[in-house]
């Protein structure tokens, strides 16, 4: 989720469509946790219909690269992990 927010501000509805197989409730809850942890900033606009825009906070903009690096390290090691 963090990696998908890298590079700009996204409307929640557009961001939500990127993830297949994950419920809207789970995505909203995960986004709320990221916001509570200070990784993401969301702005709610009081319009009809309402919309929410989310982006990474400036202090946490490096988080997606760290997560991506961890994933890049784990992915080729998966067969080794399953043999242990």
Fold (CATH) for 2-83: Arc Repressor Mutant, subunit A (1.10.10)
Q: Distance (Å, rounded) from C-alpha 74 to C-alpha 57?
A: 26
Residue 14 half-sphere exposure toward CB, CA atoms < 13 A: 11
Q: Mean pLDDT for the chain? A: 77
Ranges of each domain in the chain: 2-83
The pLDDT tens digits of the residues spanning 10-23 come to 777 777 677 667 78
Say whether 8 sits in a helix, a strand or coil: coil
Long-range contacts of 60-67 (CB under 8 A, 24+ apart): 61/6, 63/2, 63/39, 64/2, 64/3, 64/5, 64/6, 65/6, 67/2, 67/3
- Among the residue ranges 27-31, 44-48, 70-74, 79-83, the one predicted with the least confidence is 79-83
């Amino acid at each position: 989720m963090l990696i998908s927010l890298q590079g700009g501000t996204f409307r929640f509805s557009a961001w939500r469509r990127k993830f297949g197989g994950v419920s809207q409730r789970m995505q909203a809850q995960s986004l709320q946790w990221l916001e509570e942890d200070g990784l993401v900033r969301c702005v709610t606009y009081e319009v009809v219909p309402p919309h929410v825009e989310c982006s990474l906070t400036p202090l946490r903009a490096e988080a997606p690269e760290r997560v991506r690096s961890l994933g890049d390290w784990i992915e080729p090691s998966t067969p080794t992990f399953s043999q242990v």
